[in-house]
Amino acid sequence: MRWSSRLPLLLLLLRCLTPGAVRAAPGPDTFLLAIVRDDGLVRPVAVHARGRWRSPWPAPVKEAEVPVRLEDCPLAWWGTDSPPLSWTLHTSEAAPQPLPIDGITWVPTYCQQQVVLRSRAGIRQPLRPADGLRAHKRGVAVAGEAQLTVPRQIDQDSAEARALLDAVQPLFNRDERLMLAGDYFAVYTPSVDGNARDRMPVEALGIYEGPGRTGGPVYFVELQRRYPRRAPADLQWCDEVTYMSGWIYRGDGDRIETSLISNDVTSCTLDSVVRAIPHAVVETARGPVWLLEEYRPNGEAFALYLAPDRQGVEPLRRVFGGSCSGR
């Protein structure tokens, strides 16, 4: 889904970013990506080889079977001609550093068991408490030569964030009206009419900047707009929320465009929508690929998206990460 409008303020912001934000030349073809948790457990997500993405690492199951030693892992699990000998950890808090792998084990992931690698060097100190059943992620590990960028998280109180939200509000208004004009009105009536909604502020839950395909950076955003809740009576303390997530980027001329991956109406707990956090952007021959963690209270997945261009955003692969209600 795409939005477009003429927004000189945001264009000025995009043009003022440093030349380093423009993507560099693609890296080598074969590499592995893995998510690293705060506790130093490493979950291989995908392998890129010969221009294709695959996910050969075992998915979560009810009872995981774990090899006794790391070297006992079947070669097919890696998806490469030989097991990876070294990994590099990329985080937002430090420069890339070697990530030695100490062994293999399993870990509970929601209501299932996941085979993972273990690294004492990957532990984040101090550990953050879990978010319900979801473990916090420290960063991304790479095996092989790949050019990887950790998206820059933008302070939500900064001038950059305020300019972005001012620019995106008319686009948010348009997409919200389109969404509510569909099937929503059969089961849901907003507590605020359309003209009043359009004047209400849009809030950012997260703003991240990284490489794009259209010359310069793109922004991945999670946005919400809150309304007073009317019913049921026992939940009136909790506002209604329109939630949207996706990318904002520059298109042709002075046009700003947005490609959404999620939009919905929910409550202030956001428990019925799929949240998303970008962890890395890796260069490929086709362009930058964003690695997102997508999660709800009862499950998570890891998704790869080709950065948006004038045709929108292209999903490449989604890897199941654990669930309490099946896939």
Last residue of a domain, one of 79, 113, 146: 146
- Residues 183, 47 within the same domain: no
- Residues 122, 221 within the same domain: no
- Residues 82, 225 within the same domain: no
Last residue of a domain, one of 121, 146, 171: 146
Q: With DSSP H G I counted as helix, E B as strand and the rest as coil, what are the percentages for the chain, rounded to 5?
A: 15, 45, 35
- For 51, residues 6+ apart whose C-beta sits below 8 A from its C-beta are 29, 284, 285, 286
Three-state secondary-structure class, residue 175: helix
- Residues 158, 218 within the same domain: yes
Dihedral, CA of residue 165, residue 168, residue 169 and residue 172, to nearest 10 = -130
Question: Is pLDDT larger for residue 149 or for residue 21?
Answer: 149
pLDDT tens, residue by residue, 123-175? 998 999 999 999 999 999 999 989 999 999 999 999 999 999 999 999 999 99
pLDDT value for 231: 66
pLDDT value for 253: 63
Last residue of a domain, one of 114, 146, 178: 146
- Residues 169, 268 within the same domain: yes
Helix 159-180 / helix 8-15 crossing angle, nearest 10 deg:
130
Residue 87 near residue 96, CB atoms below 8 Å: no
- Residues 11, 62 within the same domain: no
- Residues 141, 70 within the same domain: yes
- Residues 276, 174 within the same domain: yes
Q: How many CB atoms lie within 10 A of CB 214?
A: 17
Residue 169 gets which letter from DSSP? H
Question: Is pLDDT larger for residue 183 or for residue 262?
Answer: 262
Residue 46 near residue 301, CB atoms below 8 Å: no
- Residues 65, 201 within the same domain: no
Residue 254 near residue 11, CB atoms below 8 Å: yes
Residue 202 near residue 168, CB atoms below 8 Å: yes
Q: How far is CA 286 from the centre of its chain?
A: 19
- Residues 156, 184 within the same domain: yes
Query: Containing domain of residue 130, as a range?
Result: 31-146
Model confidence at 73: pLDDT above 90: yes
Model confidence at 27: pLDDT above 90: no
**Alpha carbon distances (Å) from 316 to 26, 37, 303, 308, 323:** 17, 23, 8, 12, 21
- Bridge partner residues of 281 (DSSP): 149, 290
Percent of the chain at pLDDT above 90?
A: 67
pLDDT tens, residue by residue, 181-239? 866 656 667 778 889 899 999 999 999 999 998 777 899 999 999 988 766 666 667 88
Question: Within 13 Å, how many C-alpha atoms sit on residue 45's CB side?
Answer: 27
- Residues 54, 183 within the same domain: no
Q: How many domains does the chain have?
A: 2
Give the pair of three-digit tokens for residue 95. Answer: 């420069």
- Residues 277, 204 within the same domain: yes
